[in-house]
Structure 1
Amino acid sequence: MRTHWLGLVTLLLTVGCTQEGKLRPQAGAVPLSEDGNAAVTGEHGVRLVAYGSSWKGQPGDLERHFTLMQIQLENHSGRPLSIQYAGFELEAKELYVARNPKDLGKIMSARATRWRPARPVNVVPPKPSHRPLPGPSNDRGITYSGSGTEVPPYTPPPCYTCPSAFDAAAIPSSDMLRLALQEGPLEAGQTREGFLFFEDPILVADRATLKVKLVDATTGEQFGMLSIPFEVH
């Protein structure tokens, strides 16, 4: 029974320590901008600049539902660089791949379909030292008297990332389509900037690493990998 109580306390502490999913480049890992909100790395003639949480478009609460990252790529490699969402990964406790913003409305609709309102979960209480008083019973026949000697049913916290039907219908917004990083070859000497969208907010990890595959747009050969570590707040 002590193990049960320790597990319940651990669960509550985990919920209380949940991050907001705000990203900031990890200091000391790669060069940062003066304000500390952008990190720079590069190899093979490709320069990557990645920014922390910086979404100013509509919907304003988009980071509540997804992880966003603004990046800039400069191609001085002497070859065309393939820009595909599948080549951008965010590694935290899980591995996320950047998604086309046109797919995000369907992802939110699927979440709304799967989600159900928080409801009580029956927890078997410790046996009281006295006979329980009359009271409501759950489907296991356990009676809760309200005397303080039993464990009440646990109600999970509300789902803050679950969308409403209105939220899903508004995705993708015109700002999302306009500000997204565009797919397609990036020719030598060119620069491209935009937002990447990852399908889940990062709420339980304190570190995340952006990984960018460098792929020749002509041959399909991967000739390098860029990475920038972030802190999650």
Structure 2
Amino acid sequence: MAEAQGVRLIADGAAWKGHPSDLERRLTPVEVQLENHSGRTLSIRASSFDLLGGSRFQYAALEPMKLKDTAEAQPRCIADYTPGYWSLGAGWAWGPGPWGHYGYPGWSSPFYYPFHDPFYGPTPYVRCDEPLPTRDMMQRALPEGTLANGGTISGFLYFQGVGERERQVNLQARLVDATTGGPIGQLSIPFQVHN
């Protein structure tokens, strides 16, 4: 949480519970809430937010409608296969006895157990990520527009994935007066990055 000029920013980097469930593998979703008690109307734009990495690289918030044009939004496809299984099976065996042949519990010989494959062998297939943005991402995105004095707004911002590049980032928000277009101040919240 950070506060300046009567504006409070609350941010959570681990709040995403929507679809896709593995969004953090591709992007960095951050839920933000802005409370405006500045006495002015604020302009709310994704472009007013960024993550500043420990490497000093600046990651701009991606506008949801433009996400589909980014490399992270393109579906990644991985070739894989479904294996079958070899196993020892318990069953009934037949053998001689004093009163003729009879059944008794025992172990059968190894056999192939194709739970996942009707053709008794590994089947190749291609698994692809879903293209972004999903409907859930669009519905949960931080709305753009204006925030009147006394108002509160919340939603998700989507940044380029930082998990493999950074150990620490600062969420930065530039506060802009909607009437004059002039800057009011800046808020910053530090985050530790966990893979």
Question: What TM-score comes out, normalization by structure 1 length?
Answer: 0.57
CA distance in 2, matches of 1:220, 1:193: 21
What 5-or-longer segments of structure 1 have no aligned partner?
1-39, 118-163
Higher strand share: 2
Match of 1:215 among 176, 179, 187: 176
* Matching residue within 12, 16, 32 for 1:71: 32
Q: Distance in 1 between matches of 2:128 and 2:24?
A: 16
Aligned pair 1:101/2:49, yes or no? no
Q: Give a deviation string over 1:116-172, Cα, whole Å, max 9, x none.
A: x9xxxxxxxxxxxxxxxxxxxxxxxxxxxxxxxxxxxxxxxxxxxxxx994353x21
Aligned to 1:46: 7
Displacement of 1:174: 1.3
Q: Distance in 2 between matches of 1:109 and 1:71?
A: 21
Residue identity in the other structure for 1:96: Y
Instruction: State the one-letter code of the partner of 2:170.
Output: T
* Contact 1:208–1:230 under 8 Å retained in 2: yes
Q: Please point out which of 113, 120, 144 is paired with 1:183.
A: 144
* SS of residue matched to 2:66: helix
Residue 88 of structure 1 contacts residue 97 of structure 1 at CA under 8 Å; is this kept in 2?
yes
Larger helix share, 1 or 2: 1
Q: Give the % identical residues.
A: 44
Return the offset for 1:70.
Answer: 0.5
Q: Which residue of 1 aligns with 2:41?
A: 80
Structure 1 residues 173 and 98: CA distance shift in structure 2, 3 A: same
Q: Distance in 1 between matches of 2:67 and 2:168?
A: 24
SS at structure 1 position matched to 2:147: coil
Gap change, CA 1:177 and 1:112, over 3 Å in 2: closer
Task: Decide whether the 8 Å contact of 2:30 with 2:158 is kept in 1.
Answer: yes
Aligned ranges 1:50-199 → 2 under 5 Å: 50-92=11-53, 93=55, 94-108=57-71, 166-167=128-129, 169=131, 171-199=132-160
C-alpha distance in 1, partners of 2:72/2:151? 37
Residue type of the alignment partner of 2:161 = D
User: Which residue in the other structure is 1:157 paired with?
Assistant: none
Q: TM-score, with normalisation over the residues of structure 2?
A: 0.68
How far residue 110 of structure 1 moved from its aligned partner, in angstroms, is: 7.7
Matched residue of 1:105: which SS? helix
Query: What stretches of structure 1 move > 3 A for 4+ residues in a row?
Result: 108-113
Q: Is the 8 A contact 1:63 1:201 kept in 2?
A: no
